[in-house]
């Protein structure tokens, strides 16, 4: 629309100039032929200018206008709005950057909506149990004895753990997670977690073995967060072996850093789930948790500058590896 307006205006100017030149030649002593030539020259020059202006408007000003329109739509919450591609070498990088930003905002909005839906789903079960138990006590169906109060306490604990996990996850993803590193015996921490779960594992027919490098130098990391990571991996491994099996925890030194491996003989992770295994609230068929354990563990390891990866997972079991680089004391 704006380009057509500019072209129309220039055409009107050309017409007025030509008309003025012809009228001046007709009522003066100026040679009419020379006047006509001059008019054509003027028309040619102004036409060339008009063409350049129109091209500039079409390739530069109009894309900017479209970019402004798309930016306004995004500001109003329409994250699907995109700026149209342009051939302008000046505007093209700006359009590309804006569309990339809009893509990220749209993905973040989808993740936010999914997170809220998943959170509502995870909280619904314990809240339903708590409500049912309280109503039963009020109606006199059963007494408010220690057994039923313990059930309420267990469900409240589930909700507290879920909210604590969400807070940890939020802080880790925003880069605001506060770590309290200190010289930490990695092998000793792994051994403590193994001892904690050994009795529970035996009840399910799972034997926990350790292959620990006790010569491993202390690492400058947060011992509480390290224990949380190892605990999550052990619990996931035990859930994958409901019919019994073997769980091996290993540690070793790599270039001054530490490697922790958790290997089980469970059913493995389905190939369809491998790509999404670190997604929030993703749960396998045998999972009893919130589906945040692996996500939090990965983020905690990354906060220490390390990596957490599924090395292998098939019908013979799963191997998870945590690699922690050597960190200098602050």
Q: Which range has the worst mean pLDDT, 68-82, 161-175, 248-262? A: 161-175
Question: What's the pLDDT score for residue 255?
Answer: 86
**Residue ranges matching CATH 3.30.565.10 in the chain:** 182-324
CA dist 86 → 4, 63, 103, 104 (Å): 18, 7, 18, 21
- Is pLDDT above 70 for 223? yes
Q: Give one DSSP letter per residue of 169-235, joined into a string.
A: HHHHHHT-PPP--EEE-HHHHHHHHHHHHHHHHHHTTEEEEEE--TTPPPEEE-HHHHHHHHHHHHH
Residue 288, pLDDT score: 59
Quick one: average pLDDT of 142-165? 82
Q: How confident is the model at residue 296 (pLDDT cuts 50, 70, 90)?
A: confident
- Give the range among 129-133, 226-230, 301-305 with minimum mean pLDDT: 129-133
State yes or no: pLDDT of 98 exceeds 60. Answer: yes
Range of weakest confidence among 146-150, 214-218, 252-256: 146-150
Q: Where does the pLDDT of residue 202 fall: very low under 50, low under 70, confident under 90, or very high at 90 and above? A: very high
Higher pLDDT, 278 or 326: 326
41 falls in which pLDDT band (50, 70, 90)? low
Write down the mean pLDDT value for the chain.
79
Average pLDDT over residues 71-83: 82
Could you give the C-alpha distances from 87 to 1, 56, 58, 59, in angstroms and in order? 19, 11, 10, 7
Where do the CATH 1.10.287.130 domains begin and end in the chain? 116-174
Q: CA dihedral in degrees (27, 28, 33, 35; nearest 10)? A: -90
Write down the pLDDT at residue 77: 82
Whether 208 has a pLDDT exceeding 60, the answer reads yes
Per-range mean pLDDT, top range of 8-22, 39-53, 311-325 = 311-325
Give the pLDDT score at 241. 92
Q: Give pLDDT, residue 88.
A: 65
> What is the pLDDT averaged over residues 268-289?
68
pLDDT at 198: 92
pTM: 0.61
Residue percentage of the chain with pLDDT more than 90:
26
The reported pLDDT for the residue numbered 319 is: 95
Domain 182-324 has CATH 3.30.565.10: yes
pLDDT of residue 323: 95
Q: What is the pLDDT of residue 234?
A: 94
Contact between 91 and 64 under an 8 Å Cβ cutoff? The reply is yes
Specify the CATH number of the domain 116-174.
1.10.287.130
Q: For 224-281, give the DSSP string.
A: HHHHHHHHHHHHHHHHT-TT-EEEEEEEEEETTEEEEEEEE-S----GGGGGGTTSTT
């Amino acid at each position: 629309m704006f380009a057509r307006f500019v072209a129309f205006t220039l055409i009107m100017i050309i017409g007025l100039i030509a008309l003025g030149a012809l009228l001046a030649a007709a009522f003066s002593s100026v040679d009419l032929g020379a006047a006509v030539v001059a008019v054509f020259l003027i028309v040619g020059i102004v036409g060339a200018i008009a063409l350049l202006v129109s091209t500039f408007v079409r390739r530069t000003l109009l894309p900017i206008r479209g970019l402004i329109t798309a930016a306004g739509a995004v500001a109003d919450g329409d994250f699907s709005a995109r700026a149209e591609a342009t051939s302008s070498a000046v505007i093209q990088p700006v359009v590309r950057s804006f569309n990339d930003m809009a893509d990220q905002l749209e993905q973040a909005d989808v993740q936010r909506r999914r997170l809220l839906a998943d959170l509502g789903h995870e909280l619904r079960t314990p809240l339903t149990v708590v409500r049912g138990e309280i109503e039963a006590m009020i109606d006199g169906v059963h007494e408010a004895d220690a057994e039923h109060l313990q059930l309420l306490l267990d469900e409240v604990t589930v909700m507290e753990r879920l909210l604590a996990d969400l807070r940890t996850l939020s802080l880790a993803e925003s880069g605001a997670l506060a770590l309290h590193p200190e010289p930490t015996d990695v092998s000793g921490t792994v051994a403590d977690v193994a001892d904690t779960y050994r009795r529970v594992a035996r009840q399910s027919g799972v034997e926990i073995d350790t292959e620990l490098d006790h010569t491993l130098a202390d690492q400058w990391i947060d011992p509480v967060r390290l224990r949380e990571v190892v605990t999550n991996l052990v619990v996931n491994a035990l859930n994958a072996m409901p019919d019994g099996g073997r769980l091996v925890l290993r540690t070793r030194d790599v270039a001054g850093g530490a490697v922790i491996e958790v290997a089980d003989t469970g059913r493995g992770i389905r190939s369809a789930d491998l790509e999404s295994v670190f997604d929030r609230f993703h749960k396998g068929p045998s999972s009893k948790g919130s589906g945040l354990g692996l996500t939090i563990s990965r983020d905690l390891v990354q906060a220490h500058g390390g990596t957490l990866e599924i090395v292998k997972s098939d019908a013979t079991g799963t191997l998870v590896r945590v690699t922690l680089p050597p960190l200098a004391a602050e």
